[in-house]
Amino acid sequence: MFSSDLRGKPESELTCNVHDLIVSVFNKTLIHSVNPDMITGYRPLAPRHVSDHLVELVDDAFFKICKYRYYWISEWFRYSTDKSHAVSQDVTVLTSDHREMIEARKQVRRGSLFRDRVWEKTYSPLLLEGRLMAVIRDNKIVSYSSVTYLPFGAANIAVWTDKEYRKMGYGANCVMQAVNWCEDNNRIPIYLVSSSNVASIRLAEKLGFNRVASEIRTTVSTSVNR
pLDDT value at position 8?
81
pLDDT-derived band at 14 (thresholds 50, 70, 90) equals: very low
pLDDT digits (tens, 9 = 90+) for 164-210: 999 999 999 999 999 999 999 999 999 999 999 999 999 999 999 99
CA distances, 98 to each of 39, 55, 133, 172, 211 (Å): 44, 42, 11, 21, 34
The residues of the chain that CATH labels 3.40.630.30 are 91-208
pLDDT in tens, 134-157: 999 999 999 999 999 888 899 999
Per-residue confidence (pLDDT) for residue 25, from 0 to 100: 94
- Mean pLDDT in residue range 81-90: 87
Q: Which CATH class is domain 91-208?
A: alpha beta
If one counts every other C-beta atom within 10 angstroms of the C-beta of residue 202, the result is: 11
Helix (H, G, I), strand (E, B) or coil at 102: helix
Cβ-contact 76, 39 below 8 angstroms: no
In this prediction the pTM is 0.84
Give the list of residues 6+ apart from residue 179 with CB closer than 8 angstroms, or none: 81, 83, 84, 85, 157, 189, 207
Q: How far is CA 134 from the centre of its chain?
A: 17
State the pLDDT confidence band at 15, using cuts at 50, 70 and 90. Answer: low
